[in-house]
Structure 1
């Protein structure tokens, strides 16, 4: 089974291209920075993974995804090769995205949150003291 789940931040805005007779075929490409669980010399480490999506997923990427956003991607790994202009064989590995979802709210991504609120969480109203399960 070839199924990948990635959560990371876009390193740049997606690059969207249209092709076909009536520009009816669309593909979007972007790079996702996915943090590793360990640190190297006390610094965070990340893998930079190329993501490609087609059709409605590509249109969604171009319209709603932007540099710095934290998203989840579900898809599959695809490998390939090509010969570059210098005649060298280049090997590629990309994730072909079937699903893309937002992982954090706009406020968390943009920094508009009250002081002391952890990343990815929205503040909630105070819980009333008279609730029966308190």
Structure 2
């Protein structure tokens, strides 16, 4: 039996998506997402915020780059991926990211209107994946 690698997050973008283009024109966007939870500690209401590194590929990245921005509330589904890289001093480092497979913009209708043609609650989704990267060129909306 194989394992399951599924992440579901609802949070606010910590900054505008950063769009890049790789060889062959493959688009990738990334941004931090903050999720917060509140709890009571000794009768006081406390809040704890967790930051997640989100990565989106190809068509999904294009849609995110167009419609998402800092502070917006979004629902994201994806999977965890840990990768390694070397820093400027040549030291091997590791980072864990959420590779998004789809997302839904949440919030008020006015939060997402762009020329009156975008509605909240509609989602963007990667239809096909290869090695965790979306291969969808067209999104279903």
TM-score (norm 2): 0.69
Structure 1: which 5+ runs fail to align?
111-134
| Stretch deviating more after TM superposition (85-94 or 62-71) | 85-94
What is the CA RMSD across the aligned residues, in angstroms?
Answer: 2.0
- Write the deviation string for residues 69-106 of structure 1: whole angstroms up to 9, x where unpaired: 00000000000111211232211000000001012123
Q: Secondary structure at the match of 1:8?
A: strand
Q: 2:108 aligns with which of 105, 108, 112?
A: 105
Structure 2: which 5+ runs fail to align?
113-141
User: Is the 1:71–1:103 Cα contact (8 Å) retained in structure 2?
Assistant: yes
How many correspondences in the alignment? 107
Aligned to 1:120: none
Runs of 4+ deviating beyond 6 Å: none
Q: 2:23 aligns with which of 20, 23, 27?
A: 20
Aligned to 2:79: 76
* Structure label with greater radius of gyration: 1
In the TM superposition, residue 20 of structure 1 has moved relative to its aligned partner by: 2.6
User: Is the 1:39–1:45 Cα contact (8 Å) retained in structure 2?
Assistant: no
Counterpart Cα distance in 1 of 2:16 and 2:88: 27
Q: Secondary structure at the match of 1:13?
A: coil
Counterpart Cα distance in 1 of 2:96 and 2:37: 18
Counterpart Cα distance in 2 of 1:99 and 1:56: 10
